[in-house]
Chains A and B, each alone.
Chain A
Amino acid sequence: MSRAFAGIHAINDASFRVEAGAVTALIGPNGAGKSTMCSVISGFLRPDRGSVLYDGEEIVGCSPHRLAARGLLRTFQTSSEFPRLTVTENLLAGARADRGTTLIGALLGRRYWIAEERANLERARVLLMSFELLNVADQMAGMLSGGQKRLVELMRAIMARPRFLVLDEPLAGIHPATVESVIAAIQRLRSDGVTVLMIEHNLGVVERICDRVIVMANGSVIANGRMHELRQNPEVIDAYFGN
């Protein structure tokens, strides 16, 4: 696919496959087109040409909320918590609530949706516990630190029960001690059968948790394989690791 902004080719005939059920890293220098790729996959941007196949179906032109309903979720590079919702509410906002989020359901009142809400709340509690954020559960998400906001966003996406999760730099700004819980969460997602595509700059982490690695530079995919293979690839070394 290709996508240009005012003549600059952010993505230039890039093409790759993401294996179902695997964790795939998308790496490359700044300006390589990784985030643009995320936005195209998740429906926020339309490619100028090309296609995106999800489960074998063309999804170019699908709106992000439709894709999300089909299990394709994304997180953002900049923190995108709901600042005036509490942490718990942020998580609940991610969970599906088929009864309580319809107009009729809301008007029918608490008794109609409370069971669903309790179940979601329990999932939120477990998730908060695993990220050791239970102590800020009732705080406004806007008051958290940058790293905590990233975690809230990740947890919110997990609450939505994704099938394919696109993570745009999930570890940026996260404390080294917390990095492990994010890694554990991603590994847990994989063992649950979730496909993960993550943009990541920390190659050590990429090597540890990613099954496949896609390298982009100047809008194109220049390599695709396992991390230890790519370390030998002269094109990758040139574009990414420098001389």
Chain B
Amino acid sequence: MSSALQFYMSTLLVYLGVSLIACWALNLQIGVTGVLNLGFIVFQALGAYTAAVLTLGPDTSNGGFQHYVFGAELPFPVPLLAAAGVGALASAGLGSIGLRRLRSDYQAMVFLVAAIIATDVATNVTGLVNGAAGLSLVPQPLSANVGLSPLDYQWFYVGLMAILCAVAFLLIRRLTLSPLGRSLRAVRDHEDAAEALGYNVYRLRLMVVVIGGALAAVSGAALVEFIGSWGPGSWFYQETFVYLAAVIIGGSGNNIGVALGALIVPVALNELPRFIPDFGGPGFVDAMRWVVIGVAILVFLYFRPQGIIPEKRNRFGLAGTVRHRWSGLATRARVRLGR
């Protein structure tokens, strides 16, 4: 592989890792628990900003050309962990307002409105995170310590990303396969019935909003530490719909399906336009991306709402008719109970 291609591939893999973590987190909220968090991108952005300001050092560095709060130069992985904490705290705050007394469609509106407000605040309060210009020159983690060539560093970061993804996957898998995961799906399926059975619906929803918020923040932190810059343009509220499309197309409620969705939508759909010759005027191909995402969501909701790989049915085999089903990649997702 030529080094240019290696650069490209490794960058794509890092993007895939970021998307995987984000999509699993969003799936936990939307697909598993039915919390329609349309402001998901805010928590990714928050994680990115947190990691950036905690890596950049005080805002007098680099000639003081950018202005931001809480500038510090903390060693990796402290900015990443701090991002997770800030993401969790912020989502707990928003969740406790939005989830308490509202039904799910109105909850979605709270999150969406919060996302729009957040972009405006970040853009217009320039001293916060450098306004519309955004933050740049975020140093890459450990780049000074490991002493690798730029290309080798790319692959090093892919490795870091793989570790993060594995941790996120195992965490979410344990959650969704446990009785707690079943409670979450019960809340999704019938809020009142779940409440009547003793589930604190509000607390369960808040829990997945917080866990998802922390994971979203980690994905944002991992992204900004890699690309080195972050601004309001990276997280317009529409960006949530990229992940939402990935969840719906891949298979809402199925972590493997969602991983496939993350490969198809955020990665492939964002990257393909690079290889399409420009036509229809400047910016046309890029704008069409949103049309394609919107149409894809609609087509799937109409014709295959369960997505490419549907949610797995947990068979317990009480009827004595259970067969081991080897359906694709999702075999291990089945809860096995000894009989």
Shortest CB–CB separation between residue A78 and chain B, in angstroms?
Answer: 10
Q: What's the least CB distance linking A92 to chain B, in Å?
A: 6
Report yes or no: A64 in contact with B318, Cβ–Cβ below 8 A: no
B197/A88 in contact, CB under 8 A: no
Question: Given the complex, which residues of B lie within 8 Å of A110, measured CB to CB?
Answer: 177-178, 335
Cβ contact of A138, chosen from B175, B197, B315, cutoff 8 A: B315
Residue contact B182 to A140, C-beta cutoff 8 Å = no
Contact with A along B308-328 (1 / 0, CB 8 A): 000101111111011000000
Q: Check A88–B318 contact: CB distance below 8 A.
A: yes
Q: Which of A114-122, A169-177, A181-189, A225-233 contacts B (4 or more CB under 8 A)?
A: A114-122
CB-CB contacts of B34-52 with A at 8 A, as 1s and 0s? 0000000000000000000
Contacts A44-B192, A118-B337 hold; do A65 and B186 have CB atoms under 8 A apart? no
The docked-state distance in angstroms from the alpha carbon of A118 to that of B183 is: 17
Which of B72-80, B151-159, B199-207, B236-244 interfaces with chain A? B199-207
Contact of A82 among B190, B317, B335 (CB under 8 A): B190
Contact with B along A69-105 (1 / 0, CB 8 A): 1000111100011111110110011101101111101
Partner of A105 from the list B180, B200, B319, B335 (CB cut-off 8 Å) is B180
B120: interface (CB < 8 Å)? no
Which chain B residues numbered 189 to 220 have a C-beta less than 8 Å away from chain A? Answer: 189-190, 192-201, 207
Q: In the complex where A65-B201, A103-B207 touch, is A137 in contact with B316 (Cβ < 8 A)?
A: yes
Contact partner, A97, options B179, B196, B316, Cβ 8 Å: B179
A92 to B315, CA, bound (A): 12
Contacts known (A94-B197, A107-B174); A137 close to B192, Cβ less than 8 A: no
Contacts of A42 in B (CB 8 A): 196
* Residue B171 lies at the interface, judged by CB distance under 8 Å to chain A: yes
Q: Which residues in window 16-69 of A have CB below 8 A to B? A: 42, 44, 63-65, 68-69
Whether A128 pairs with B318 at a CB distance below 8 angstroms is yes
- Please pick, from B174, B314, B321, the residue contacting A89 in the complex, using a CB distance under 8 A: B314
Report whether B316 and A106 are in contact in the complex, using a CB–CB cutoff of 8 Å.
Answer: no
Whether A160 pairs with B198 at a CB distance below 8 angstroms is yes
Contact B178 A113 (CB under 8 A): yes
Q: Are A114 and B321 in contact (CB under 8 A)?
A: no
**Least Cβ distance of B29 to chain A in Å?**
15
Residue on B with the closest CB to A120? B179
Contact with A along B288-318 (1 / 0, CB 8 A): 0000000000000000000000010111111
Check if B192 sits within 8 Å of A135, measured CB to CB.
no
Closest-by-CB residue of B relative to A98 is B179
**Are B180 and A100 in contact (CB-based, < 8 A)?**
yes
A interface size (C-beta, 8 A):
54
Given the complex, which residues of A lie within 8 Å of B321, measured CB to CB? 138
For chain A, residues 138 to 167, give those with C-beta under 8 angstroms from any C-beta of chain B: 138, 140, 153, 156-157, 160
B318 & A93 in contact (Cβ 8 Å cutoff): no
Tally of contact residues, B, Cβ under 8 A: 40
Which residues of chain A are within 8 angstroms of B139 by Cβ–Cβ distance? Answer: none
**Is there contact, CB below 8 Å, between A85 and B196?**
no
Bound form: Cα–Cα A118–B336 in Å: 11
B337 pairs with A138, CB closer than 8 A: no
Q: Are the C-beta atoms of A73 and B197 separated by less than 8 Å?
A: yes
> In the complex, what residue of chain A is closest to B210 when comparing beta carbons?
A103
Whole-angstrom distance between the Cβ of A131 and the nearest chain B Cβ: 12
CA A74 – CA B190 in complex, angstroms?
14
Q: How far is the CB of B41 from chain A (nearest CB, A)?
A: 25
In this complex, the member of A97, A113, A116, A137 whose beta carbon has the largest number of chain B beta carbons within 10 angstroms is A137
A74: nearest chain-B partner, CB-CB: B196
Pair A92/B182 contact, Cβ less than 8 Å: yes
Q: Is A124 an interface residue (CB 8 A)?
A: yes
Question: Which of B174, B179, B193, B319 has the most chain A CB atoms closer than 10 A to its own CB?
Answer: B179
B192 to chain A minimum Cβ distance, whole angstroms, is 7
The closest CB in chain A to the CB of B187 belongs to A82
| Closest residue on chain B to residue A71 by CB atoms | B198
A125: Cβ under 8 A from any B Cβ? yes
**A83–B337 CA distance with the chains assembled, in angstroms:** 22
A103 touches B195 (CB 8 A): no
Asked if A134 is at the interface (CB within 8 A of a chain B CB), the reply is yes
Nearest to B180 among chain A residues (CB) is: A106
The answer to whether A106 touches B174, judged by C-beta atoms less than 8 angstroms apart, is: yes
- The reply to whether A125 and B318 contact each other, CB–CB distance below 8 Å, is yes
Question: How far apart are the CA atoms of A82 and B335 in the complex, in Å?
Answer: 18
Q: Is the CB of A76 within 8 A of B196?
A: yes
Give the distance in Å from the alpha carbon of A117 to the alpha carbon of B179 in the complex.
Answer: 8
Interface presence of A7 (CB below 8 A):
no
Choice from B175, B188, B189, B319 contacting A135 with Cβ under 8 Å: B319
8 contacts between A and B (CB under 8 A): A44-B192, A76-B192, A85-B189, A89-B314, A110-B177, A117-B337, A121-B316, A134-B319
Given contacts A65-B201, A84-B185, A137-B319, 15 further A-B contacts (CB under 8 A): A64-B196, A73-B198, A76-B192, A76-B193, A82-B190, A83-B189, A86-B314, A88-B314, A96-B198, A101-B179, A106-B181, A107-B175, A109-B174, A138-B313, A138-B316
